[in-house]
Amino acid sequence: MPLGEVQLTTDKGWGCMLRCGQMVLAQALIELHLGRDWFWTPECQDATYLKIVNRFEDVRKSYYSIHQIALMGESQNKAVGEWLGPNTVAQILKKLVLFDDWCSLLVHVAMDSTVVLDDVYSLCLEGDAWKPLLLIIPLRLGISDINPIYIPALKRCLELDTSCGMIGGRPNQALYFLGYVEDEVLYLDPHTTQRTGVVGQKLRPGEQEHDETYHQKHAARLSFSAMDPSLAVCFLCKTSDSFQQLLDKLRQEVLGMCTPALFEISQTRAVDWDTAEDIEWPTMPDIDWPAGASDSDSFAIVEESAREGDAASSSKTSERAAV
């Protein structure tokens, strides 16, 4: 089915970050419902796996299809066919999971490089019950190139058992990062054009063949220094205990590895300038200025004194001017 008003029939040239968003969400759903040690095989007809892959088919009715992601992007002021960044895709996933009761997953996007704990707890806690969380932290780690001081911290993030990888890429090319070897990051590349189709229940040969297009046999490598500085680190926290363990490891093993830190963890949200009018600012005291004095007059006096006095008096005059 064509996409949007422009009736696009392909996501070639603009959909790579959308595909990376699909990858990280699919990985989170597999870990949540099938376990971290589960592996796909071409013969797999597991009912839970099929429920997951059906959600990513290229048809509009699928919860996380390219259609749904692109159309939801319009709510973020991104037209269908426009290239998206990691933060925008994260915001779209955050909305889409709310329509899928079966997935049992919530997405929190930590803005301004800060994980606000009050926001996470209000989202995931219902009484004593915890809703599984995919935590996505968008970051900007440089202007045009990634700052090398952050690379050790990124490596440590990928080592954590709650890691769901990173969505980012190299300039103008989105990639899904899932690990590293020495100074190279491992990634899956969405830039292979595939035919559209459905997996269904894998009862027909065409469905079985199409299922294979959702999987890559090999990961590629890229130097950390070649990564685009705009990326998002992702973590899956199935329980409140796993979230607390993640916080402990981030504080102890990640955030102290570089200055400034990769991101921050805060209990409450900082005051937004947009809400500054609601703050009760202290009243400024009334000051009795000398009659007839003005800013321009006082600067003229300083200027004149500086010209007429010697070096010592000039120094004193400068001190008064500063006061």
In a domain, residue 85? The reply is: yes
- Give the tens place of pLDDT for each residue, 234-255: 999 999 999 999 999 999 999 9
Percent of the chain at pLDDT > 90 equals 70
Which pLDDT score, from 0 to 100, does residue 196 have? Answer: 87
In a domain, residue 5? The reply is: no
In a domain, residue 258? The reply is: yes
- Give the tens place of pLDDT for each residue, 217-229: 899 999 999 999 9
In a domain, residue 238? The reply is: yes
Question: Mean pLDDT over residues 283-294, rounded?
Answer: 54
pLDDT of residue 198 exceeding 60: yes
Q: Which residue has the higher pLDDT, 196 or 30?
A: 30
In a domain, residue 261? The reply is: yes
pLDDT of residue 259 exceeding 50: yes
State the chain's mean pLDDT as an integer: 87
In a domain, residue 98? The reply is: yes
Most confident of 48-57, 276-285, 294-303: 48-57
CA–CA gap between residue 206 and residue 198 (Å, rounded)? 9
Across the strands, what pairs with 108? 135
SS3 call for 311 = helix
Q: How confident is the model at residue 197 (pLDDT cuts 50, 70, 90)?
A: confident
pLDDT of residue 318 exceeding 70: no
In a domain, residue 44? The reply is: yes
Q: How confident is the model at residue 298 (pLDDT cuts 50, 70, 90)?
A: very low
Paired sense of beta strands 264-266 and 114-116, if any: parallel
- Give the tens place of pLDDT for each residue, 261-286: 999 999 998 776 555 555 565 655 55
- Give the tens place of pLDDT for each residue, 6-45: 778 888 888 999 999 999 999 999 999 999 999 999 999 9
CA–CA gap between residue 308 and residue 162 (Å, rounded)? 72
End-to-end distance of the chain based on CA atoms, in angstroms? Answer: 71
Domain count, the chain: 1
Which pLDDT score, from 0 to 100, does residue 23 have? Answer: 97
In a domain, residue 139? The reply is: yes
Residue 253 CB neighbour total at 10 angstroms: 14
Q: How many CA atoms lie within 13 A of 239 on its CB side?
A: 3
Residues designated as active site: 16, 189, 191
pLDDT of residue 304 exceeding 90: no
Residue 221: which domain range? 15-266
- Give the tens place of pLDDT for each residue, 78-102: 888 888 999 999 999 999 999 999 9
Most confident of 71-85, 108-122, 206-220: 108-122
Q: Which two tokens stand for residue 289?
A: 């200025």
Which pLDDT score, from 0 to 100, does residue 47 have? Answer: 96
SS3 call for 95 = helix
Helix or strand run (H / E) with residue 120: helix 117-124
